[in-house]
Amino acid sequence: MSPKPIIEIRELTKIYKGADEPAVNSISLDIFPNEIFGLLGPNGAGKTTTISILCGLFPATKGSVVIDGIDSHVNLEQIKQIIGVVPQDIALYPTLTGRENLTFFGNMYGLYGSELNNKINHYLGEFGLEKHAGKMVGKYSGGMKRRVNLIAGLLHDPKILFLDEPTVGIDVQSRVVILEYLKEINKKGVTIIYTSHHMEEAESLCTRVAIIDRGKIIALGQPKELLARNPEFSNLENIFIHLTGKGMRD
């Protein structure tokens, strides 16, 4: 693993207006180039808040984020050019077709004309969507929407890709297509940070994971390190339950 992190997070804290507790509570973390890093935690743990701050969607209350050597307080716009964002809530226009949605997102990243069209065609093919490109996204299945949502974050060839629960609510086929593609772009050098509730998936996909709960990191390491540290548990899911408890969260 390279000694120079591609993402340096220091004492990151987010207190939403009117909240009693911080949603993210002084998280410090280094992520290294070419990792597939999993941010795992129960509902309300602070995963989306953390990833949203890293992507520059809203500011932290305290702390700092340096991405690829660029301090987000100094040049957030430069960071935005090298990152791709795939949000938890599908951010597509239901009355536009798949192709129109992707054209819109491509334009937002400054891509136009045949360069953009070629990319869109490439990704529609890659994700088995070419037949559906002319249909309104509102009529797509959940898996198709997730795939378009992912393509929208990939069009500008980001160096770092953030995905917030990219495989939630989809069938095995769409899940496999998405995960295989993430592995493929990771092999080509893209650093991936993703959140999930799916422990088995994270265990097989991630180079390292952080388990967060109530805004704090409570475990960090390679899945196999966490298993070695907790020999009484046979998989990541059991460690996760052990650390976060069985109580339901909202």
What residues line the site for ligand ATP (CB under 6 A)? 16, 19, 23, 41, 43-49, 88
Q: How far is the CB of 68 from ligand ATP (least distance, A)?
A: 24
Q: Which is nearer to ligand ATP, 47 or 99 (CB)?
A: 47
The reply to whether 48 sits near Mg ion by the rule CB under 5 A is: yes
Q: Long-range pairs for 216-223 at CB < 8 Å and ≥24 separation?
A: 216/25, 216/26, 216/27, 217/27, 217/29, 218/243, 218/244, 219/243, 220/29
Question: Residues 6 or more apart from 193 whose CB is under 8 A from it?
Answer: 7, 31, 35, 37, 39, 51, 54, 160, 161, 162, 163
Q: Which is nearer to ligand ATP, 50 or 103 (CB)?
A: 50
Q: Which is nearer to ligand ATP, 47 or 119 (CB)?
A: 47
Phi, psi of 242 (to 5 degrees): -60, -45
Output b/e per residue, 176-200; b: 16+ Cβ within 10 A. Answer: ebbbebbeebbeeebbbbbbbbbbe
DSSP string, 123-158: HHHHTT-GGGTTSBGGGS-HHHHHHHHHHHHHTT--
- Contact between 77 and 243 under an 8 Å Cβ cutoff? The reply is no
3-state SS class at 196: strand
Q: How far is the CB of 19 from ligand ATP (least distance, A)?
A: 5
Binding residues for Mg ion restricted to 191-220, rule: CB under 5 A: none
Q: Which is nearer to ligand ATP, 101 or 244 (CB)?
A: 244
Q: How far is the CB of 174 from ligand ATP (least distance, A)?
A: 19
Q: Which is nearer to Mg ion, 47 or 80 (CB)?
A: 47
Q: How far is the CB of 242 from ligand ATP (least distance, A)?
A: 19
Report the residue number whose CB is nearest to Mg ion.
48
Q: How far apart are CA 22 and CA 61, in angstroms?
A: 9
Which tokens in the block code for residue 17? 């207006």
Residue 145 near which of ligand ATP, Mg ion, none (CB within 5-8 Å, type-dependent): none
Q: Which is nearer to ligand ATP, 15 or 136 (CB)?
A: 15
Q: How far is the CB of 23 from ligand ATP (least distance, A)?
A: 3
Residue 46 near which of ligand ATP, Mg ion, none (CB within 5-8 Å, type-dependent): ligand ATP
Residue 196 near which of Mg ion, ligand ATP, none (CB within 5-8 Å, type-dependent): none
Q: How far is the CB of 203 from ligand ATP (least distance, A)?
A: 18
Residue 43 near which of Mg ion, ligand ATP, none (CB within 5-8 Å, type-dependent): ligand ATP
CA distance readout (Å), 248 to 3, 44, 45? 38, 10, 12
Binding site for Mg ion (CB under 5 A): 47-48, 88
